[in-house]
Amino acid sequence: MENETKPQDFIREIIAKDVAKTKKKNGGRVITRFPPEPNGYLHIGHAKSICLNFGIAEEQKSVCHLRFDDTNPSKEEIEFADSIQEDVRWLGFDWGEHLYYASDYFDRLYDYALELIRKGKAYVCDLSPEEMREYRGTLTEPGRDSPFRDRTVEENIGQFERMTVGEFEDGERVLRAKIDMTSGNINLRDPVIYRIQHKAHHRTGDDWCIYPMYDFTHGISDSIEGITHSLCTLEFEDHRPLYDWFLDQLDMDCHPQQIEFSRLNISHTVLSKRVLRKLVEDEHVSGWDDPRMPTIVGMRRRGYTPLAIRNFCESVGIAKKSDSVVALAQLEHFVRDDLNRVAARVMAVMRPLKVVITNYPEGQVEELEAINNPEDESAGTRKLPFSKELYIDREDFMENPPKKFFRLTPGGEVRLRYAYFLRCDDVVKDDSGEVVELHCSYDPETRGGQAPDGRKVKATIHWLSAQHARRAEVREYNTLFTKEDPNDVSEGADFTENLNAESLVVLPKVFVEPSLAGAKIGARFQFEREGYYCVDLESTPEALVFNCTVPLRDTWAKVKKTVRKVAKKKVSKKSI
Ligand code: ATP
Ligand code: MG
């Protein structure tokens, strides 16, 4: 096997067998493709397919084609085709020179349609869409033959030509494959292969007013490109006999093998371009790149890394049957895992509370050394200014603390990260009784965080020098949907019913280290004790904006640990 470190799955097993010396199917070649329809932005579900197709090509030292399945002129836009290329590249994959468009094959597809007509395997049908539906039958009842099914080859060619030159209106004629109206598989009941659409196409302009259907186009495009393994999601399983039928009827050298795998679904998330498009159009989100969106552009803006997404896709695996739902926490686990290695640590105070150090010299500023990334020594250190007035987080102080509260309390002492011990002497309140300021004293002997007399504190909190801190807006995110399954709605309602009103929480007055003023858009940081954050694309040096990429707490790793523990217990019990 080529690559033993990659986890194996049933598709990689099939391919490994195909290229094995004894079989050498397709001369040992493996060519895959990722075939998006350019009618929306890519989402994390597509990432699974991208990782699979490009991943296999890499392992086989071969190529994966990027092909736009652009057969529907009414829904497609150049904006989408451009964004798809950018997203695939951002994920870390490369199609080299193998960028294709199904629309480039329109001439050849037309010839193949004529070939089917000549072979008596396709006919022009005048039934209206409603009549066609009626003739098609149901899952339990066979369909009936169209009255136009027995047209002669000449008549069909004539009719098809008239369709092509624009003699008919949309829907007046279609070209259908002549297969079997009684087939148990409805896809084989004389499916439409060409329809009339008087609409300009984003690449072929007004050249055509008839367009080939997806099922007809897809397999032929695969074959033209010499694809060996055509990997798609499970909903195409029932289309496979049709995929094979077209290639069997036509005189084509290459007959790719279609293999289906399970779709990715994620809890609290919708992975359907149609729904995502609606979220954008109805302004439930700010755009395709809203950081709450499960799109690649949204995740990129949110601060997710390509490696995190690829590791996640790998962890999900490729299953043969049934689409399962993966916990969102699993994706977040891989984001955290990667950011833990690469993100610089900084301090940010989310809910600022002013601290005045009464015994600290007025006007003095010290520079204290702070570590940039304990996971990566090469990241070095930086200087943090320390002065008489600080900000700490409101949540790190309690006037009347419960028993296990170890942070700052009246009379209590904590360690300021990289600085000194700090004791709270006085609490200043406003007229409404709200705490507005703390008067504290520091112990100059504790610089660096250790007391020479050996006394201990139970907590270390983060802080910022008030005069040096920079103000920022921070956007925290919750899931876009309140329910694990966003499609679980009451009768007559749609997914909007489950939209989470608190999916975006803006903290308008956060303070961050002064060094962050120069941070570039997209730069990622760990705000100590809070989580991972990145500079939003709306951020400017004058008005900083950060997105919360993911909080620090890893719920999935915990779940995994308990599952592992339980599993271990079971094993040990058995072995006794
Ligand atoms: P959607 O259902 O979101 O509109 P689609 O299947 O119509 O997606 P395409 O652009 O046609 O989107 O898909 C390109 C490729 O991505 C297809 O091979 C499809 O099977 C795959 N794909 C789409 N969604 C998922 C998913 N959730 N999990 C895995 N693969 C997916
Ligand atoms: Mg589709």
Residue 160 has a pLDDT of 98
Taking the CA of residue 36 as reference, the ligand 1 atom at the shortest distance is 10
Q: How far, in Å, CA of 533 to CA of 65, rounded?
A: 35
Mean of all residue pLDDT scores within the chain:
93
Ligand 1 atom 2 nearest Cα: 272
Amino acid (one-letter) located at 569: K
Q: How far, in Å, CA of 402 to CA of 400, rounded?
A: 7
Least confident of 330-344, 523-537, 550-564: 550-564
Q: Which CATH architecture fits 348-461?
A: Beta Barrel (2.40)
Residue 323 has a pLDDT of 74
- The stretch 471-499 carries a mean pLDDT of 94
Decide whether 3-261 matches 273-344+473-558 in CATH topology.
Answer: no
Domain ranges of the chain: 3-261, 273-344+473-558, 348-461
Residue 430 tokens, joined: 């406003």
Q: How far, in Å, CA of 399 to CA of 401, rounded?
A: 6
Residue 289 in this model has a pLDDT that exceeds 90? yes
Residue 569 has a pLDDT of 45
Residue 343: DSSP 8-state: P
pLDDT band (50, 70, 90) for residue 44: very high
Q: How far, in Å, CA of 332 to CA of 553, rounded?
A: 10
Return the closest-CA partner of residue 155 out of 172, 132, 175: 175
- The stretch 311-316 carries a mean pLDDT of 96
Bridge partners of residue 205, in order along the sequence: 201
Q: Is 35 in the pocket of ligand 1 (CB under 6 A)?
A: yes
**Are 481 and 499 within 8 A, CB to CB?**
yes
Residue 565 in this model has a pLDDT that exceeds 80? no
Residue 558 in this model has a pLDDT that exceeds 70? no
Å from CA of 46 to ligand 1 middle? 5
User: Which residue of the set 173, 176, 263, 388 is catalytic?
Assistant: 263
Residue 78 has a pLDDT of 86
Mutate to test the pocket of ligand 1, among 46, 262, 320 (most ligand atoms within 8 A of CB): 46
Q: What is the pLDDT of residues 385-404, one digit of tens each?
A: 999 999 999 999 999 999 99
Q: In the chain, what are the helix, strand and coil shares in percent, each to the nearest 5?
A: 35, 25, 40
Residue 75 has a pLDDT of 72
Residue 427 in this model has a pLDDT that exceeds 70? yes
Q: Is 232 in the pocket of ligand 1 (CB under 6 A)?
A: yes
Residue 22 has a pLDDT of 73
Q: How far, in Å, CA of 456 to CA of 444, rounded?
A: 15
Residue 76 in this model has a pLDDT that exceeds 90? no
Residue 447 in this model has a pLDDT that exceeds 50? yes
Residues 266/269/270/276 CA torsion (nearest 10 deg):
-130
Return the closest-CA partner of residue 209 out of 167, 176, 260: 167
Q: How far, in Å, CA of 280 to CA of 270, rounded?
A: 13
User: Which residue of the set 176, 273, 300, 301 is catalytic?
Assistant: 273
Mutate to test the pocket of ligand 1, among 49, 91, 235, 278 (most ligand atoms within 8 A of CB): 49
Q: Is 49 in the pocket of ligand 1 (CB under 6 A)?
A: yes
pLDDT band (50, 70, 90) for residue 320: confident
Structural class in CATH, domain 3-261: alpha beta
User: How many CB atoms lie under 10 A from the CB of residue 563?
Assistant: 10
**Are 513 and 347 within 8 A, CB to CB?**
yes
Residue 333 tokens, joined: 């686990």
Residue 555 has a pLDDT of 65
Q: Which CATH architecture fits 273-344+473-558?
A: Beta Barrel (2.40)
37 is catalytic: yes
Residue 252: DSSP 8-state: -
At which residue do the structure tokens 């891989």 appear?
A: 334
**Are 58 and 95 within 8 A, CB to CB?**
no
Least confident of 7-16, 296-305, 501-510: 7-16
**Are 31 and 61 within 8 A, CB to CB?**
no
